[in-house]
Amino acid sequence: MIHELIIHFLSGEANPSEKKIRSNWLEQSAENKKLFADLHEIWLTSETQNITDQYELEAAIRKFRQKIQHEKKRQSLEEQEPKLKRWFDVDFIFSDEQVKIRRFTGIPERESILEAVSYFDLPNLVVCTIKGNKIITKSTNK
């Protein structure tokens, strides 16, 4: 699995063959490059890069895998849009690409449209405005 290969690479344990596979995989698509960048960021924030003790490294890798699982559960507003459109009969207007791809922890349940929108309307990140059946979203920190 590619996650295992990336862990080997990030931990400095990848052999030349694994490094070549990673390079080829990165060149296959922009999505692969984004996934690697996201995983690299998670790796850096999980403080696994400076561990030398094998036991600590294994524990850190477990923590890293848990963070990956958490990130998989997060969805962008663009990914949640079809469900929200279906539930509430609304159209989303994304004022910029940033707001479209921003990931949110958790997934709104079937609540009122105001509750669902308040879930995404985060003062320092995203502003949502409701006009009729349109929800206009804008990133506040481009």
Same domain, 9 and 28: yes
CA distances from 54 to 1, 47, 50, 60, 78 (A): 22, 14, 12, 10, 40
Same domain, 68 and 81: no
Lowest mean pLDDT among 14-28, 40-54, 73-87: 40-54
Same domain, 132 and 94: yes
Same domain, 59 and 79: no
Same domain, 102 and 116: yes
Same domain, 95 and 131: yes
Question: What pTM does this model have?
Answer: 0.45
The predicted pLDDT at position 27 comes to 92
Same domain, 19 and 82: no
- Whether 113 and 97 have beta carbons less than 8 Å apart is answered as no
Three-class DSSP labels, the chain? CHHHHHHHHHCCCCCHHHHHHHHHHHHHCHHHHHHHHHHHHHHHHCCCCCCCCHHHHHHHHHHHHHHHHHHHHCEEHHHHHHHHHHHHCCEEEECCHHHHHCEECCCCCCCCHHHHHHHHCCCCCEEEEEECCEEEEEECCC
Q: How do residues 68-109 score in pLDDT, each as one tens digit?
A: 665 666 677 888 888 888 888 889 888 888 888 777 665 566
Q: How confident is the model at residue 28 (pLDDT cuts 50, 70, 90)?
A: very high
Same domain, 65 and 38: yes
Residue 88 domain boundaries = 75-139
**φ, ψ (nearest 5 deg) of residue 91:** -115, 140
Domain stops at, among 73, 91, 113: 73
Same domain, 132 and 121: yes
Domains in the chain: how many in total? Answer: 2
